[in-house]
Every structure is written in structure tokens, then in C-alpha cells.
């Protein structure tokens, strides 16, 4: 099994890259966290971002690993506790499938990506910058695995 993160955005600030890389390095070798960065769609001043989201959707869907379980990050998705996220991971581990978490760009995710997703997850009710969301997700995936393995990183 492999954890996939497909995220719109490239050339992230150093602190974002360092934060993500720190948690990715902590993942066990049998459950690596792989990041695929998607180039953002071109945005035109005065437009609502629909064209950019559609282009990003094409790139996201093309990048989905075969057989993976797509999980769209969206502020209207399920709000889980870390233990509940650990439950999702445990179920996927038992099924032998790899989740692919998808973070949209500045204009969010196109409806075609949300429709393809098996689940939708909200990291918070707050609107988060998409770059920060990748660090927060990596930390929560690491924390969830600590719960699964009985490691003391997570404390209730």
C-alpha cells in the first residue's frame, strides 16, 4: 500500500516543502507518502476560475494511480477526528488499496474530481491555503499511523 497526495501547485515556499518532507520522511517504509504536484491552470483576470479548474481536473485525473481510492479534500467534506481518519486508513490497509488524497488549487476542485472521489474530507471548517493543507494532511496521516501502530505520538 502507498499513500498518494496529488496537489495542485508547484514551487511551494521552503517552509511548506520542509514541513511536508518532514512528515513524509517519518512514514514507515511499508507505507510511503508520495507527492505528485499538478501545475495550476492558467487564470485570467476577471474570470471565475472555471477554465483553470477544468484544466487542473484533467491533470489530476490523469495523475491518479491505477486502482487507487480517490479522496477529495473539500471544506464541505466529512470532518473526522484523527482516530476516525485512522479508521479509514485501517480499512484501506485491510482491503489492500491505496488512497489518493487530492488537494485543489486556489479555486478549489472541479466537480468532475469530486464526482470521481470515493470520499470527501475536510481538514477544517476554515478555508485553508492549499499549500498549508498539504502539510496538515501529511501530519494527520502520520498521526493516524501512529494511532494504528500504538505509538505515543498521538494523545487523546
Q: What is the pLDDT of residue 100?
A: 98
Phi, psi of 99 (to 5 degrees): -75, 145
User: 3-class DSSP state for residue 99?
Assistant: strand
pLDDT digits (tens, 9 = 90+) for 62-97: 999 999 999 999 989 999 999 999 999 999 999 999
* Residue spans of the chain under pLDDT 50: none
Does the predicted TM-score (pTM) go above 0.75?
A: yes
- DSSP E strand boundaries for 80-140: 99-103, 119-122
Count CB-CB contacts under 10 A for residue 10. Answer: 9
CATH number for the region 3-149 comes to 3.40.1280.10
Annotated domain spans of the chain? 3-149
Amino acid at each position: 500500500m502507498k499513500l498518494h497526495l496529488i496537489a495542485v501547485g508547484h514551487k511551494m515556499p521552503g517552509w511548506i516543502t520542509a514541513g511536508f518532507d518532514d512528515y513524509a520522511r517519518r512514514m514507515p517504509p511499508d507505507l510511503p507518502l508520495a507527492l505528485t504536484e499538478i501545475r495550476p491552470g492558467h487564470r485570467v483576470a476577471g474570470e471565475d476560475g472555471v477554465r483553470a479548474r477544468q484544466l487542473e481536473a484533467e491533470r489530476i485525473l490523469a495523475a491518479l494511480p491505477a486502482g487507487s481510492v480517490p479522496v477529495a479534500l473539500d471544506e464541505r467534506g466529512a470532518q473526522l477526528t484523527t482516530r476516525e481518519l485512522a479508521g479509514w486508513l485501517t480499512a484501506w490497509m485491510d482491503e489492500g488499496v491505496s488512497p489518493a488524497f487530492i488537494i485543489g488549487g486556489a479555486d478549489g476542485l472541479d466537480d468532475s474530481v469530486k464526482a470521481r472521489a470515493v470520499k470527501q474530507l475536510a481538514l477544517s471548517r476554515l478555508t485553508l491555503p492549499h499549500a498549508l493543507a498539504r502539510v496538515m494532511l501529511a501530519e494527520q496521516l502520520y498521526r493516524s499511523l501512529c494511532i494504528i501502530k500504538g505509538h505515543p505520538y498521538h494523545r487523546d
